[in-house]
Amino acid sequence: MASAIKNLSVYDDSNMPSTVGMSFGIVVSAWNADITHALYEGCLQTLLKHGVSEDDIRTVQVPGSFELPVGAKILAGAKRFDAIICLGCVIKGETQHDEYINHAVATGLTNLSIASGIPCIFGVLTPNSQEQALDRAGGKHGNKGVEAAVTAIRMASLRKEIAKPTSKIGY
Ligand code: DLZ
């Protein structure tokens, strides 16, 4: 598996797009709060490190990961965010609840991204255990919150770049 050999937080920080004029929404799930708080810290610090001002970051909390898509839709409705980052952690239990939640969140965020045109980033851990979650929330595999912030900046930049009017040729 890729994450077994890859630190999620490793990226080329010298090759990041500008964040000038960008705003980001963050939706954080309250379930497994110790983990999602660590994801949030990694995400927030990465946005700040790349020049996003605190005034241009709006964070909201939702009860569980299942509510991440509707939380993202509420932020998308404000029409002022260049990307929306969704952070959650669904730990596998004795039943298949994790599969239903994960599938619903992934589908919901994909559909919202495509319908709204605003990148909604899937920063959700889907571990088999608390230990695997900790490994990916600031532990030996890095912090998926960092990865989510980097992805958000890159997608917001792509969106802005393509939306720019092209210069006229001649005349
Ligand atoms: C119900 C539930 C369970 C069992 N496990 C998790 C979890 O591991 N991670 C998570 O983010 N949320 C969990 N939830 C809550 C659901 O996401 C949702 O909040 C409730 O089903 C209410 O819609």
Q: Which among 28, 66, 124 is the best mutation to test ligand 1's pocket, defined by most ligand atoms within 8 Å of the CB?
A: 66
8-state DSSP, 169: P
Encoding tokens for residue 32? 């497994």
Quote the number of domains for the chain.
1
pLDDT digits (tens, 9 = 90+) for 9-36: 889 888 999 999 999 999 999 999 999 9
Kind and range of the H or E run holding 166: none
Q: Is residue 55 part of a domain?
A: yes
Whether the predicted model's global pTM rises above the 0.85 cut: yes
For ligand 1, whether the C-beta of 91 sits within 6 Å is yes
User: The domain containing residue 52 runs over which residues?
Assistant: 35-158
Quote the pLDDT of residue 76. 98
Q: Is residue 39 part of a domain?
A: yes
Q: Which residues pair with 137 in a beta bridge?
A: 143
32: CA distance to ligand 1 center in Å?
Answer: 9
Q: Is residue 26 part of a domain?
A: no
Encoding tokens for residue 4? 């077994």
**Would you say residue 45 has pLDDT above 70?**
yes
Q: Is residue 101 part of a domain?
A: yes
Quote the pLDDT of residue 169. 66
Alpha-carbon span 47 to 40, nearest angstrom: 11
